Amino acid sequence: MKTEKRLYTKLSLMVHDTSRVFVVFYMLLTIVTLVYYPHMANTIKRYPFLIAVPVVTVFNTINTRRLLESGKYLVGFFSSALTVALLLITFAMNLYPNIVRSTINPLYSLTVHNAASSPRSLTIMLIIAAIGVPIIALYTGFVFWTFKGKVKLEENSY
């Protein structure tokens, strides 16, 4: 999105090749995970409609590549961000409610419920987040505004 000329060509070829490899490895990793860790599919067995999340992830990855090849870089960027979010959602939904699963005894697993902070701590963190997130958003917007436009590679660039 921010490159041109030789660097643009090099990155375009890289995206073309690595997106195919990513889809293949994603599907292989999913199969291996389900074979060696069958409990990871419990959520999908309980709620079959959730199979849509990993399927949409694969199609979204393919769509990201299509968008980049057709020159729609901004939409491709957001599509790529959606792929990352979907990967995290897939992982989280398959682990839930466990955060760290005990191999000794499931009763010793660290779950969302027994790892949660007290309501007072959560309230304090909510207040801190309500103050901090807008500040971070403003700073991020400022940085994007400052460095907007294409990267120009010149004689003195490094």
pLDDT at 138: 98
- For the cut 90, the answer to whether the pLDDT of residue 139 exceeds it is yes
pLDDT at 82: 95
Element (H, E) at 99: strand 98-100
Q: Find out whether 130 and 146 touch, Cβ atoms under 8 Å.
A: no
What tens digit of pLDDT does each residue of 70-97 get? 888 889 889 999 999 999 998 888 888 8
For residues 27-39, average pLDDT: 84
Question: To the nearest whole percent, how much of the chain has pLDDT over 70?
Answer: 97
Tokens of 12: 């375009």
Q: Find out whether 60 and 84 touch, Cβ atoms under 8 Å.
A: no
Angle between helix axes 52-69 and 73-95 (nearest 10 degrees) is 160
pLDDT at 158: 63
Which class for 142: exposed (0-12), middle (13-18), buried (19 or more C-beta within 10 A)?
exposed
**How many Å apart are CA 28 and CA 96, to the nearest integer?**
22
- For the cut 80, the answer to whether the pLDDT of residue 101 exceeds it is yes
Name the pLDDT band for 1 (thresholds 50, 70, 90): low
Name the pLDDT band for 143 (thresholds 50, 70, 90): very high
- For the cut 80, the answer to whether the pLDDT of residue 24 exceeds it is yes
